[in-house]
A = this chain, B = another copy of it.
Amino acid sequence: MNELATGCIMKHMIVSVAVAGASGYAGGEILRLLLGHPKFASGELRIGALTAGSNAGSLLGAHHPHLLPLAERELEETTTDVLSGHDVVFLGLPHGSSGPVADALPPATLVIDCGADFRLQESAEWEKYYGGTHAGTWPYGLPELPGNREVLSGAARIAVPGCYPTVSTLALLPAVAAGIVSPAITIVAVSGASGAGRSPKVDLLAAEVIGSARAYGVGGMHRHTPEIIQNLSAVANSPVNVSFTPVLAPMARGILATCTAPTTVTTAEARAVYEKAYADEPFVTLLPEGRLPATGSVIGSNAIQLSVAVDERSGTLIAVGAMDNLTKGTGGGAVQSMNLALGWGETEGLSTVGVAP
C-alpha cells in the first residue's frame, strides 16, 4: 500500500484548500480535520488562504487555540482575489452570504458551502424560512442518500446539509424508504450550543445555557424543518409530515435526535431493515439491541450511532441518532464530500472513533 501511495504522490497535483469563515466553528472544525487528513500529512493537500469577516487581520491562534500548527496564520479578508487560485474552497459563512462568493469563483473550483444557501430545492421554502432571494440548489452533500455518492463524485459545487437534517434524515431513512412507518413523523432533537454559531448573544452565554434545557423554534419554525421534509419526502417518494422541535442542552457539541413515527412492525423487523440499510455505510452504525446512542460517544468523530425500537403498546417506531453537529453535522460531512468530489477515499481523514469520556 505504501509503495502504491508513493506512486500516487508522484502522479497527483497538490490540492490547495481555502477556508472562508475560518474563525467560526464550522471553519475551525474543517481545519481540525484537514490537519489530521492523510493527504495533508503526505503533502498532497495544502491549507491555503484562511479568511474571515471582522476577524480579518488577526491570527488564527487568537480564535482557535486548539489548532496549534496554524496558530500563526493570519486571517485574510473574504474576497474573490484571496479565494481564487485554490482547488477547493470551503465556505463557513452566515446564511445568505455564500451565493455571491461562490458565483465569483471559477466553475472548476470545488466549492463546498457549509451554509444553507444551496440546500433547498424549492425557492418558496427558502424565502419562507430564510427570507431574501434563493441562490439556487447544489448537489446535496449527504452521501448516504440513495444515489447521492454518484452525484457527489466529481461535483464542483456541494451544499453541506444542516446538522439536524443530517442526523434526523439518517435516523429515519431506512424506515421511510422501506415504508414501515406512516409519514407522520415527530422529531425532538437535543443539541449542544456550538450549533448556534459563534456570534455573541445573551441567550447563548454560558451562564444562561449551563444548567438549563430549553426548546426553541417550536411549531415548525426552525429553518431546518423544510430541509428534513425535503429529504424524507424524496426518500418516501411522496410528501411526509414532519413535526420538528429542537432543544438546546448544556453541552458544547452533539445532537441527539429522537425520531418517532407510527408503525405496525416489531422491533426485530425494524432492526432488520436498519441493519440491511446501513450494512455498508462507513459512518452510520446501528447499535446492538439494548444499547442506546449517546452524543458523548461520537464527539470529534464522523460517526452516527443509531438505535431503533418499536413501542408495541403505542405502535410507535422510535429511532434515536447521536452525532457530533460540528463533525458529521458540518465539517466532517464537508470533508467527506470533498473526498468524494476529488476521487479520494471517502473516509480519509475521518474517524468513527470519538473522544470520550
Q: Are A212 and B2 in touch, CB under 8 angstroms?
A: no
Q: Does A254 contact B (CB under 8 A)?
A: yes
Q: Indicate with 1 or 0, residue by residue over A234-246, a CB within 8 angstroms of chain B CB atoms.
A: 0000000111010
Closest to A62 in B: B291
Q: Give the chain B neighbours of A295 by CB distance below 8 A.
A: 211-214
For residue A88, give the distance in angstroms from its CB to the closest CB of chain B: 20
Give the contacting residue for A249; candidates B194, B213, B253, B305; CB below 8 A: B213
Give the contacting residue for A353; candidates B35, B220, B258; CB below 8 A: B35
- Give A351 to B250 CA distance when docked, in angstroms: 25
Q: Are B245 and A258 in touch, CB under 8 angstroms?
A: yes
Q: Indicate with 1 or 0, residue by residue over A62-106, a CB within 8 angstroms of chain B CB atoms.
A: 101111110000000000000000000000000000000000000
Tallying the copies of this chain within the complex gives 4
Q: Give the chain B neighbours of A334 by CB distance below 8 A.
A: none
Q: Does A7 contact B (CB under 8 A)?
A: yes
Q: Does A32 contact B (CB under 8 A)?
A: yes
- Give A218 to B297 CA distance when docked, in angstroms: 18
Give the contacting residue for A207; candidates B9, B25, B256; CB below 8 A: B25
Give the contacting residue for A216; candidates B62, B204, B292; CB below 8 A: B292
Closest to A28 in B: B356
Closest to A25 in B: B357
- Known contacts A25-B357, A32-B356; can you find 9 more A-B pairs with CB under 8 A? A1-B8, A4-B4, A65-B291, A192-B210, A193-B210, A215-B293, A220-B313, A245-B258, A247-B256
List 10 A-B residue pairs with CB atoms under 8 Å apart, sorted by A's residue number. A2-B5, A65-B356, A66-B299, A188-B260, A198-B207, A210-B210, A214-B256, A245-B318, A252-B357, A299-B355
10 closest Cβ contacts across the A-B interface? A212-B296, A214-B294, A206-B209, A220-B311, A66-B354, A219-B309, A200-B200, A188-B188, A193-B206, A66-B356
